[in-house]
Structure 1
Amino acid sequence: MVFLSVRSSHRRRYVMLFLSICGVIIYRQISGQTGKMKINRREGLSVNSSQFTLGGKPFRILGGSLHYFRVPRAYWKDRMMKMKACGINTLTTQVPWNLHEPRRGDFQFRGGLDLEAFLLQASDLGLWVILRPGPYIRSELDLGGLPSWLLRDRAMRLRTTYPGFTGALDGFLDKLIPKVVPLQFKKGGPVIAVQVENEYGSFATDSNYMKFLKEAVQSRGISELLLTSDTHEGLMSGGVNGVFRSLNLRKLNHDDISYLEAMQPNSPVLVMEFWTGWYDGWGDLHHIFPAEDMLSAVREILRRGMSINLHMFHGGTNFGFVSGAVSSPSYKPLVTSYDYDAPLSEGGDYTPKYHLLRDLFSRYRDEPLPALPALRWREDYEEAIMYQHLSLWDALPFTLESFKSQAPINMEDFPVNGGNGQAYGYALYETTITSGGFLRCGGSIRDRALVFVNRSFIGIFNYKTVELAVPDGKEERTLSFLVENCGRVHFSKAMDQQRKGIVGDIILNSIPLTDFVIYSLDMTQSFIDSLYRAPWKTLPNKPSFPGFFQGRLFVDGYPSDAFVKLPGWTKGVLFINGQNLGRYWDVGPQQGLYLPGPTLNSGINQVIVFEEQEGDFKVQFEDTPDLGMTVDIQ
């Protein structure tokens, strides 16, 4: 009865540990086999000739990817139940180091980042788990999920055995792995396998790195099956002896399978990432993978007796500033939505892909699938009219304390956040000039900057525009650069160079600018909350930009999900009750931001828009998404 004296969430964890210590045999359905059968917890997921076994019994992985950090915690159970109802038996999730350790030594495992609670929820619903802790996870996240403070080290070599990287990683693994060890299969938990790194074969700059990672997780107590995942090109160099290799692909190619089978004979084949869709970049179209094409490939994979993990089964949302960017053929940041054209939509809706997969997977199970969980109600709330305005300049006193620098410095080296620099958001660099002329950035702006003279807008620097004309004037004037980190590249051999802000000299008439005052504008929830004390003004007919705009959303009764539309606005960030829902940009394709019901309160809700250039002064709430014009994935 000792468990009755603690909270229920803790009580479940103690029960799990108690069961593992006592070696209790519990019951679970395995891969669609009829009835409840004893599970031999002494034998985890194993490679046995051409098939997997789990607990000594034949087992086929019918997996789906679901990322806890992209889904509101209140919806974890809903999304998992929908996985079960589709016929999924194994959940895969990745672990974002950058979110769990935003500042070195400051570990976050509460709320929406409570990994243990997420894994226990999966266990409660009868889902096995393949855990993919990285440290690099790609996942279209900023820097592939690696923390930006690593880049404060100018000699840093990410994803190698460079001591600066491995030392930081050891600190993270020392906190992460002990949370996972008690939840392994052989200890009574749901975790049946752990992935070592992610697609290292496409990077592969250090032959000792994968061996280091294998030892790092095993020495800390991971005893379940270890695996790697790579595309065809990376299968050889991305693997390590004693670790099972799996394949990532979209189109089933006989050569890919033959290559893997030749490399790993007498073993089952696992398609660890079968890409059900793709991600979108700002200025692109919304990528879709036709349902019939997807189903054809999945059907053939199963017909051949292989195991599969659908990546993604449910994509979710890149809330805040966490979305990454691509560098090839040129730099392009990714949108806020991570809908991914997945079988379960960003808002948790069933799609044609879902229904086709459910019908297919049902043929590989002897018992009926669970009934489809009901969909959640959506609301098209009354629009929020912006009634207050706060210019960027009036908000500066509420930022972290400004500092001076002879030359511009990158965000990661800012003397803020306890010596960890600035990870995301904007930064304002100001200096004085006494002449006009030609201003050149030479690629030193990462990634986009609005440029002002005496707070009057004169143009934009980005990767394409690297020269601006500055109006003539001999008096001393303030030259300002509002620089946005639009997202660090998530996949590149140049990841070590993903520093943001102003990373080199800005030249005016052949002379480098100096003597800067710098403001950190990371736009955290604490900063947005501090704006309650700011000198907001009634919205004028011609407000200044950039600026913050405030309105109210009234919710009558229990809050429901919605999608926020901002027609007439140009580019910026949306905050509801202080929470950053993500970026918007009129270049598309995404035209609506997902607003989860748990973000809202019954009654009055605060809406704040940070707009860079032009706004319509009202925000619309609708019950349908708009991810933009579509294009088929080639």
Structure 2
Amino acid sequence: MSRLEFDAKGFYLDKKPFTIVSGTIHYFRVVPGYWEDRLKKLRACGFNTVETYTCWNLHERKEGEFDFSGMLDLAKFIRTAQELGLYVILRPGPYICAEFDFGGLPSWLLTDSKMHLRCNDPRFLQKVSNYYRRLFEEVRPYLAENGGNIIAVQVENEYGSYGNDKDYLRAVAKIYEENGVHELFFTSDGPNDLMLGGGSLPEYLATANFGSNGKQHFDKLRQLHPDRPVMCTEFWNGWFDHWYEQHHVRESDDTAATLDEMLSDGGSVNLYMFHGGTNFGFTNGANHDGVYQPTVTSYDYDCPVSECGDLTPKYQAVKEVIEKHFGKAPELAVQNNPKKAYGTIELREQAVMFDQLPEPTVCSHTMTMEELGQDFGFVLYETTLHGPFAESEIKIDGLHDRAHIYLDGVLQGIQERTGKRNDIVSVCLKEGEQATLSILVENLGRVNYGPKLRDEKGILRGVKLNHQYQFGWKMYSLPCDNADKLSFAPIESADSERLNSPVFLKGHFEVSEKADTFVRLDGFTKGCVYINGFHLGRYWNTAGPQKTLYLPAPLLKDGENELVVLELEGYQQPKVLLTDCADLG
């Protein structure tokens, strides 16, 4: 029996009137060493609830192998919130969007071509059920009915933006119940008839997601459900960035005014996001609305609490609105964490990617990343071309997402699914000549929203010379989760002619006082950064807007620290700067 109930007038927690004033923090976008700091700032701002999605794609990267440790220790995150006096709204999906790779769905689902996602397909629902059985083992002790702080659970996520399969929604809710979850169930959708009609169920509370015109959208909810309270489950107080775009910002006064409007109208609100965090590693998603648009590493979102945990002017503006409606916020000591400029780091060692390849998979045709059992990173496709043939263009049929094309180890061109770059690469071979064609394909992030959700990676259909498909491929899986197994050599002893091929560069620096810092890679082109084996994420200086990567202090060690850069396209000098200033463009 849920402790959170409702009628037309509002919510009731333990039979007492209760307004949900919530903010979103995703545990999987914040290092565990900072969970308490971020949650404490939420409580000190006057919020009574934290909302989070759960990320199926990270909890079950390989089917049947579950991980709830470290950054994925959901139970610890919920417990930390409880200790600070915060209730929890849990949004377990299975689909979460969140600008996260594949909307939080695991990539191995794509290996079943007959499976239909996000509908009442028994194949899909069986996988969902297996995941939920393990997930709810973690959270069951923290359900409100068991004395915990989880007071509401969302069924699916913005389903009306995708489909209208009510049997599917009920099947998801039934799986919850079969796993002992009986809290208040709700749905959330865009605030129009089509989305609310497709994504909601009459037996559960319907809420809406929007960034402005609060009273207008609440009136729409009241029109559809006059016997229920109104709530904005995602009040978009900022926005996310794609590569090749400008950094998004929203004025504090505008955010505060819209929040005030909703609270004055008797609504409950969840700020999306209160603290955005970071798309560490390769976890960023992408949009596709006619054009493929991958999301950047930072998920700062122009939040009240910035990516690095700083209190912004928006924090104070939001706090003043909450205190206006509910009185003084709890007196908790919160402050910005220290930042430090550790200076220039010399990268003195390197490992050329193509010199240390794993054993390949051999097949007549190209295979996708998912068929190779891989979720993130790169795949190197390699075949031998035999002459004679006249000048012929190399065409990649189904490139997802970015390709470096090499002939005999020499870079010939780069092609992108974004449409921003599409170098034409041709080859001509005489009688008896042959050439090695190598294509390094990078997964830039699976589509996380809309009808193009089924987004396989790598080379989907094949490679052609003009109109002729080429067969006989070696494929090397390069997930690049870390650089631990590489053999490095001093840069001065390496082959200088190969510096424009993908290369890992390693350096060390001493830390006597741990503090947040930011990795600036001026003079580098595109790649990713690892600190003490942890994958911080991608940089892409030629695309922007983001120019620095956030490096949280808990990832540093007292004494010597190791920093590795994977540069894909070439650099000016093997030096990076650790600065005390973020630059998101």
CA distance in structure 2 between the partners assigned to 1:509 and 1:244 by the alignment: 56
Structure 1 pair 535/486, CA: closer, same or farther in 2 (3 Å)?
A: same
Letter in 2 for 1:513: Q
Instruction: State which of 443, 446, 454 in structure 1 corresponds to 2:400.
Output: 446
Q: By how many angstroms is 1:542 displaced?
A: 5.2
Partner of 2:221: 260
User: What is the correspondence of 1:392-411 to structure 2 with a 5 Å cutoff?
Assistant: 392-396=353-357, 399=358, 401-411=359-369
Structure 1 pair 161/363, CA: closer, same or farther in 2 (3 Å)?
A: same
Instruction: State which of 80, 83, 92 in structure 1 corresponds to 2:42.
Output: 83
Q: Secondary structure in 1 aligned to 2:317?
A: helix
CA deviation vs aligned residue, 1:95-148 (integer Å, no higher than 9, x gap): 000000000000001111111111111001100000000000000001000000
CA deviation vs aligned residue, 1:317-348 (integer Å, no higher than 9, x gap): 00000000010130011100000001100000
CA distance in structure 1 between the partners assigned to 2:212 and 2:447 by the alignment: 25
When the two chains are superposed, the root-mean-square deviation of aligned CA atoms in Å is 1.6
Q: By how many angstroms is 1:372 displaced?
A: 4.1
Partner of 1:506: 463
Structure 1 pair 461/437, CA: closer, same or farther in 2 (3 Å)?
A: farther
Partner of 1:197: 156
**Alpha carbons 1:550, 1:606 under 8 Å: kept:** no
CA deviation vs aligned residue, 1:238-266 (integer Å, no higher than 9, x gap): 01131111110001254422221121112
**Alpha carbons 1:141, 1:324 under 8 Å: kept:** yes
CA distance in structure 2 between the partners assigned to 1:303 and 1:609 by the alignment: 50
Q: Does 1:518 align with 2:475?
A: yes
Q: Does 1:547 align with 2:502?
A: yes
Structure 1 pair 356/253, CA: closer, same or farther in 2 (3 Å)?
A: closer
Deviates more, 1:307-316 or 1:182-191: 182-191
CA distance in structure 2 between the partners assigned to 1:467 and 1:354 by the alignment: 46
Deviates more, 1:544-553 or 1:587-596: 544-553
Letter in 2 for 1:609: V
Instruction: State which of 89, 104, 107 in structure 1 corresponds to 2:63.
Output: 104
User: What is the correspondence of 1:382-401 to structure 2 with a 5 Å cutoff?
Assistant: 382-396=343-357, 399=358, 401=359
Letter in 1 for 2:29: R
Letter in 1 for 2:288: S
Partner of 1:566: 521
Deviates more, 1:541-550 or 1:451-460: 541-550
CA deviation vs aligned residue, 1:6-54 (integer Å, no higher than 9, x gap): xxxxxxxxxxxxxxxxxxxxxxxxxxxxxxxxxxxx7611112211000
Aligned residues: 574
**Alpha carbons 1:333, 1:487 under 8 Å: kept:** yes
**Alpha carbons 2:394, 2:427 under 8 Å: kept:** no
CA deviation vs aligned residue, 1:550-584 (integer Å, no higher than 9, x gap): 33342331321101000111111111111111000
**Alpha carbons 1:441, 1:466 under 8 Å: kept:** no
Letter in 1 for 2:257: S
CA distance in structure 1 between the partners assigned to 2:85 and 2:391 by the alignment: 67
**Alpha carbons 1:576, 1:606 under 8 Å: kept:** yes
Q: By how many angstroms is 1:161 displaced?
A: 1.6
TM-score normalised by L of structure 1: 0.88
Q: By how many angstroms is 1:443 displaced?
A: 4.5
Instruction: State which of 216, 233, 254 in structure 2 corresponds to 1:272.
Output: 233
Q: By how many angstroms is 1:152 displaced?
A: 0.3
Q: Secondary structure in 2 aligned to 1:505?
A: strand
TM-score normalised by L of structure 2: 0.95
Deviates more, 1:544-553 or 1:426-435: 544-553
CA deviation vs aligned residue, 1:189-225 (integer Å, no higher than 9, x gap): 0000001110000111533110111111112111110
**Alpha carbons 2:40, 2:332 under 8 Å: kept:** no
Q: Secondary structure in 2 aligned to 1:217?
A: helix
User: What is the correspondence of 1:336-347 to structure 2 with a 5 Å cutoff?
Assistant: 336-347=297-308
Q: Does 1:458 align with 2:412?
A: yes
Instruction: State which of 548, 557, 560 in structure 2 corresponds to 1:592.
Output: 548
Q: Does 1:122 align with 2:81?
A: yes
Q: By how many angstroms is 1:369 displaced?
A: 2.8
Letter in 1 for 2:345: A
Instruction: State which of 545, 553, 556 in structure 1 corresponds to 2:511.
Output: 556
Q: By how many angstroms is 1:468 displaced?
A: 2.5
Structure 1 pair 539/245, CA: closer, same or farther in 2 (3 Å)?
A: farther
Q: Secondary structure in 2 aligned to 1:267?
A: coil
CA distance in structure 2 between the partners assigned to 1:509 and 1:68 by the alignment: 48
Deviates more, 1:85-94 or 1:541-550: 541-550
**Alpha carbons 2:46, 2:330 under 8 Å: kept:** yes
Q: What are structure 2's unaligned runs of at least 5 residues?
A: none
**Alpha carbons 1:282, 1:334 under 8 Å: kept:** yes
Q: Does 1:308 align with 2:269?
A: yes
Deviates more, 1:70-79 or 1:214-223: 214-223
**Alpha carbons 2:349, 2:507 under 8 Å: kept:** no
**Alpha carbons 2:142, 2:150 under 8 Å: kept:** yes
Q: Does 1:216 align with 2:171?
A: no
Q: By how many angstroms is 1:382 displaced?
A: 2.0
CA distance in structure 2 between the partners assigned to 1:554 and 1:220 by the alignment: 49
